[in-house]
Amino acid sequence: MSSLDASTALGHGHAPPREGVNYLNADNSVAGWLGTLDHKRICILYLVGVGIMFLIGGLFAVLFRTELLTPGKTIMDANTYNKFFTLHGAIMVFIVIIPGIPAALGNFVLPLMLGTKDVAFPRLNLASWYMWLFGTLLMLSSLVFGGVDTGWTFYTPYSTKVQGGAMAGVVPTLFGAFMLGFSSIFTGLNFIVTIHKLRHPNMSWFTMPLFLWSIYATAVIQVLATPVIGITVVLAAIERLLGIGIFDPALGGDPVLFQHFFWFYSHPAVYIMILPAMGVMSELIAVHSHKHIFGYRFIGFSSVAIALLGFLVWGHHMFTSGQSTLLSVIFSGITFSIAIPSAVKMFNWIATLYGGSISLNAPMCYALSFMWIFGIGGLTGLFLSTLATDIHLHDTYFVVAHFHYVMAGTIFVLFGATHHWWPKITGRMYNENVARVACALLFIGFNTVFLPQFVMGSLGMPRRYYNYKEEYQIYHVISSIGSYIMSAGVLTLIYCLSTSLMRGAKAPRNPWGAATLEWQTASPPVVENFETTPTAGDPYDFDALRYDEKTGDYVYVGNPTGPKH
Amino acid sequence: MNELLATGSLSLLADRPYMPPEASTYSGTVDFWFDFILYCSLFFFVLMNGLTAYFAIRYRRKAGAKPHGPTHSNTLELTWTIIPAILVFVMFFGGFHGFMNMYTPPENGYDIAVTGQQWNWTFTYPNGHTDSELHIPINTPIRLTLESVDVLHSLYIPAFRAKMDAVPGRYTRMWFEATREGTYNVFCAEYCGTSHSDMTTKCVVHPSMEGYKEWLAAADPFSKKNMTDEQFEEYKADPAKFIAAHPEIKNLLPLDKMGEILWKKKGCNACHSVDGTANIGPTWKGVYGKTEQFENAPAQTVDDNYIRESIVDPLAKIVKGFPGSMPAYQGRITDREITALIWYIRSLGDQKAK
């Protein structure tokens, strides 16, 4: 047992917390929110921002899915359709999923899990949020300038050459991506330093919750890969504005070079999006089955393996680009190697469920949905890393379905994580039944949208098509209906969380019986995070908790037989 | 059954509801690996989600039940590391093997040039005829050389399982051999702007080479069918003169013939012979497909992209034994002219085709 105070680790003391005052009600002035250095409030800023942008990005998707109900024009013209799928992609990738788990929830959870008072650089943390905000506004401003229809991949020479019409917004969008990139880099840097320097004195690397391992691996990718996309979008903007030949062959440039630069970031970015979700999965599965995580070290090291291998596979996006066949073969081989650590994680989570005491509450429902969704997303990746089959499937709806199954895995976990930490963040419980209905609607809707897309993709339907052959219509119609079911799920989710805010029951400190440190403080936490020093032990030792029926709370009593590690 | 024997493809029997009809020599290979991965994936998907669902029900929370079970097992970890590793290696190797066949054009084949532009495809046939549709004979290896005049495009024929990007400023090559007559969809698979989804056309597979040649002769403006007998004789006697007299059909000259005219017109003939004699520059006779040694770069086979580079940026690779004295043609020659020169050089002897 440690007698060290978490704030001692920071090198300064603090005043004792005041009764009834928590981080939410401490200072409700505008400056108190928009100028806050408190990582918990910055989480709220991100959650609200990311939530609004998720709804906007989703709205674009529902609109263009409606357009695709019939071949030819249904509700919008080709240019509008092209702008909508471009913005849907750019918003969901750069603005929603990349910051979704690490910057939004990670901001709240990471310092609390470490038992510390804040992140290492609170001002940088706030600056990251403002960069996110300005990047988002820049990207949305492209709509005012006439929009962008390059697709979120900005492939050259289309993005640097074609003028007028739907293309006037390219430059603000590129600078928006640049800003968002630096927001991501600063968050990653902040988290790396925080994990190294501000861990609870009793917390070693191997008694750190697995969420933190995955956030650490993510942060390494953010810091090393994101500068490349920053430079690339600036080069594209320079070519477009000044006519200096970098990517346009008419000016002496090389269009395929852009693809190499772009995917050198954007493939690792896939792991920026999925690794934090895998980290949350380890927490959700263990906590809601009250079972020690299975294969801690294998899960932790597999995060690092995925992060490192993720840098070496970018060429698998370019098998048909005309790159050398030798290069394609090497990229295919390395791509397969990533399947292994991903499979290891899945099997370890299943083994964790074995013999557990599984509560089928909303966070667990979302976690089980992830097993299904990421299972399909991961396995269909095998078709795309196999060279012979990829040539046929490349740039078809099969790819669209594949990466939505991977990315939406992250969205499902983001929702699961929001429910899991909701009592801690807001101090209120939500209605389990409504939350489970929302999860079920989202799950059914999602599969209705994307399962038919695998079939139409393998039948040859290319992606980004406004018009299509009639033989594909049946799949498009089913897919569009799914998007309406998903919309109902999102509305139910909003209803569930907003009623919780208005009249949810007061949350105890530890409603789930979790053993990580954030559950040892009040719900919501005090401004200083902890009233007294938290006790750090094995983060998955659920024998150290006793259920108190009167308060509905799990109380930390320590493990009489000692920690399992 | 006759059709089956004629195409020599047993995979006709196995058209799948989730795949386009198999219509090329390698589509059967692609579908075989697709099915192999599909069955492996289904097995693991059912295994993982079956266990997850079973555990979620069997071990759902009950009062008084105490969680139990191990927290680690190296045997299990090794099992679920090694078995998937073996399976993905098999997939990798199968995919690699199939891909090498799909992306290595055969040494002899029928050449057609393809140009992509917003938003249509242009196919140029060996006799100079250009068409917006792709017509090919059955059971003949077809080699396509792709270029783009504006942005990226990608030629995709689902029934052949064939796809290759068309990149501005360089050539890409693809090949396939149709095994089944019919008309198939041709798509642009790389997003190229407003009417990307209308950049589609048809691929018509003719049941025989003779049938194909009949079509080409009828479609070809130089054939007798499209000219008076008098004009046709005039054309045969001196194509260059005939073309000069009819500027409106200049672009319809066969590519290699157009290249020959350019060889003189652009002054290439001052330094490059076509009869094998070394001049100030290397001869063009038999140079295509040859492995060339350079003063300032590693050895390389003479192919479309090398010739293109030698024209626009000649000093990038200087052939051993020759002075680097050729002027750069960047900006002074069109893409179509470069393509014509390449076809001319190829007509002077292709080392690979021997």
Q: What is the pLDDT of residues B21-62, one digit of tens each?
A: 999 999 999 999 999 999 999 999 999 999 999 999 999 998
Do B51 and A350 make contact, defined as CB atoms within 8 angstroms?
A: yes
Do A459 and B89 make contact, defined as CB atoms within 8 angstroms?
A: no
More confident residue, B189 or A14: B189
Mean pLDDT, residues A364-368: 97
Mutate to test the interface with A, among B24, B37, B197 (most CBs of A within 10 A): B197
Dist. CA A320–CA A258, nearest whole Å: 15
- pLDDT greater than 70 at residue B226: no
Of A339, A344, A371, the CB nearest to B52: A371
Classify domain B2-102 at the CATH class level.
mainly alpha
Of A79, A320, A371, the CB nearest to B48: A371
Dist. CA A94–CA A92, nearest whole Å: 6
**Which tokens is A73 given?**
């024009």
- pLDDT greater than 60 at residue A312: yes
Do B163 and A321 make contact, defined as CB atoms within 8 angstroms?
A: no
Backbone angles phi, psi at B114, to 5 degrees: -125, 130
Let me know: does A483 contact A65? Beta carbons within 8 Å: yes
Nearest chain B alpha carbon to A81: B194
Dist. CA B11–CA B345, nearest whole Å: 39
pLDDT of the residue at B223: 59
pLDDT of the residue at A297: 94
How crowded is residue B112: how many other Cβ atoms within 10 Å of its Cβ?
Answer: 18
- pLDDT greater than 80 at residue A209: yes
CATH 1.10.10.10 fits A24-556, yes or no: no
Domain boundaries, chain B: 2-102, 110-219, 254-353
Do A354 and B190 make contact, defined as CB atoms within 8 angstroms?
A: no
Name the CA radius of gyration of chain A, rounded: 24
Average pLDDT, chain B: 86
How crowded is residue A98: how many other Cβ atoms within 10 Å of its Cβ?
Answer: 26
Do B98 and A79 make contact, defined as CB atoms within 8 angstroms?
A: no
pLDDT of the residue at A562: 53
pLDDT of the residue at B11: 42
Average pLDDT, chain A: 91
Dist. CA B318–CA A465, nearest whole Å: 45
How many CB pairs below 8 Å do chains A and B form together? 272
Give the H/E segment covering residue A548: strand A545-548
Dist. CA A207–CA A540, nearest whole Å: 9
Do A379 and B96 make contact, defined as CB atoms within 8 angstroms?
A: no
pLDDT-based confidence at residue A136 (cuts at 50, 70, 90): very high
Strand partners, A221: none
- pLDDT greater than 70 at residue A5: no
**Which tokens is A228 given?**
């490349």
| Residues in chain A closer than 8 A to B159 (CB atoms) | 460
Let me know: does B172 contact A322? Beta carbons within 8 Å: yes
- pLDDT greater than 90 at residue A146: no
Backbone angles phi, psi at A458, to 5 degrees: -70, -20
Q: In this complex, is the C-beta atom of A245 within 8 Å of any C-beta atom belonging to chain B? A: no
Pairing of strands B172-177, B141-148: antiparallel
Give the H/E segment covering residue A271: helix A255-288
CA distance B66 to chain A (A): 7
- pLDDT greater than 80 at residue A558: no
Instruction: Using alpha carbons, select from A520, A558, A565 the residue that is nearest to residue A6.
Output: A520
Let me know: does A226 contact A267? Beta carbons within 8 Å: no
pLDDT of the residue at A560: 58
Mutate to test the interface with A, among B100, B153, B163, B185 (most CBs of A within 10 A): B163
Pairing of strands B110-117, B141-148: parallel
Count of alpha carbons within 13 Å of B229, Cβ hemisphere only?
0
CA B28 to chain CA mean position, Å: 18
pLDDT of the residue at A565: 46
pLDDT of the residue at A7: 40
Mutate to test the interface with B, among A83, A256, A342, A386 (most CBs of B within 10 A): A386
Residues A543, A514, B64, CA angle at the centre, nearest 5°?
A: 50
Q: Which of A248-257, A360-369, B178-187 has the lowest mean pLDDT?
A: A248-257
pLDDT of the residue at B9: 40
CA distance A168 to chain B (A): 13
Do B45 and A379 make contact, defined as CB atoms within 8 angstroms?
A: yes
Mean pLDDT, residues A508-512: 93
Let me know: does A525 contact A6? Beta carbons within 8 Å: no
pLDDT of the residue at A17: 61
Do B52 and A295 make contact, defined as CB atoms within 8 angstroms?
A: no
Dist. CA A161–CA A153, nearest whole Å: 15
Dist. CA B48–CA B80, nearest whole Å: 12
Mutate to test the interface with A, among B55, B75, B164, B201 (most CBs of A within 10 A): B55
Do A460 and B185 make contact, defined as CB atoms within 8 angstroms?
A: yes
- pLDDT greater than 80 at residue A320: yes
Mean pLDDT, residues A382-403: 96
Do A322 and B152 make contact, defined as CB atoms within 8 angstroms?
A: no
Amino acid at A50: V
Name the CA radius of gyration of chain B, rounded: 27
Nearest chain A alpha carbon to B88: A336
Nearest chain A alpha carbon to B34: A389
Instruction: Using alpha carbons, select from A225, A347, A327 the residue that is nearest to residue A285.
Output: A347
| Full 3-state SS string of chain B | CHHHHHHCCHHHHHCCCCCCCCCECCHHHHHHHHHHHHHHHHHHHHHHHHHHHHHHHHCECCCCCCCCCCCCCHHHHHHHHHHHHHHHHHHHHHHHHHHHHHCCCCCCCEEEEEEEECCEEEEECCCCCEECCEEEECCCEEEEEEEECCCCEEEEEHHHCEEEEECECCCEEEEEEECCCEEEEEEECCCCCCCHHHCCEEEEEECCHHHHHHHHHHHCCCCHHHCCHHHHHHHHHCHHHHHHHCHHHHHHCCHHHHHHHHHHHCCHHHCCCCCCCCCCCCCCCCCECCEECECCCCCEECCHHHHHHHHHCHHHCCECCCCCCCCCCCCCCCHHHHHHHHHHHHHCCEHHHC
Q: How long is chain B?
A: 354
Let me know: does B197 contact A468? Beta carbons within 8 Å: yes
pLDDT of the residue at B66: 85
Which DSSP string do the residues of A144-191 spell out, in sequence order? HTT---STTTT-TTHHHH--SGGGTTHHHHHHHHHHHHHHHHHHHHHH
pLDDT of the residue at A363: 97
- pLDDT greater than 80 at residue B217: no
Nearest chain B alpha carbon to A454: B18
- pLDDT greater than 70 at residue B228: no
Q: Which of A304-313, B76-85, B182-191, B261-270 has the lowest mean pLDDT?
A: B261-270
Share of chain A above pLDDT 90, in %: 81
**pLDDT tens sequence across A8-59:** 444 344 555 667 789 998 888 999 999 999 999 999 999 999 999 999 999 9
| Residues in chain B closer than 8 A to A379 (CB atoms) | 41, 44-45
Which residues, numbered 276 to 295 in chain A, qualify as contacts with chain B under a Cβ-Cβ cut-off of 8 Å? 289-295
Classify domain B254-353 at the CATH class level.
mainly alpha
Mutate to test the interface with A, among B26, B36, B52, B97 (most CBs of A within 10 A): B52
| Residues in chain A closer than 8 A to B175 (CB atoms) | none
Dist. CA A509–CA B258, nearest whole Å: 83
pLDDT of the residue at A19: 72
Residues B173, B175, B181, CA angle at the centre, nearest 5°?
A: 145
Let me know: does A453 contact A481? Beta carbons within 8 Å: no
Of B72, B81, B95, the CB nearest to A387: B95
pLDDT of the residue at A114: 96
Residue that has been written with the tokens 């386009």 in this structure: B20
Dist. CA A109–CA A114, nearest whole Å: 8
Amino acid at B86: I
| Residues in chain A closer than 8 A to B152 (CB atoms) | 155, 157-158, 255
Q: Which of A45-49, A559-563, B227-231 has the lowest mean pLDDT?
A: A559-563
| Residues in chain B closer than 8 A to A294 (CB atoms) | 69-73
Do B71 and A347 make contact, defined as CB atoms within 8 angstroms?
A: no
The architecture of the domain spanning B110-219 is: Sandwich (2.60)
**Which tokens is A468 given?**
């299509």
pLDDT of the residue at B6: 38
Q: Which residues of A218-244 are buried (b: 16+ CB within 10 A; e: fewer)?
A: bbbbbbebbebbbebbebbbebbeeee
- pLDDT greater than 90 at residue A118: yes
For residue B266, count CB atoms less than 10 angstroms from its CB and return exposed for 0-12, middle for 13-18, buried for 19 or more: middle
pLDDT of the residue at B249: 61
**pLDDT tens sequence across A148-195:** 888 899 998 888 887 765 567 888 899 999 999 999 999 999 999 999
Domain boundaries, chain A: 24-556
pLDDT-based confidence at residue A358 (cuts at 50, 70, 90): very high
Interface predicted TM-score of the whole assembly (ipTM), two decimals = 0.91
pLDDT of the residue at B7: 39
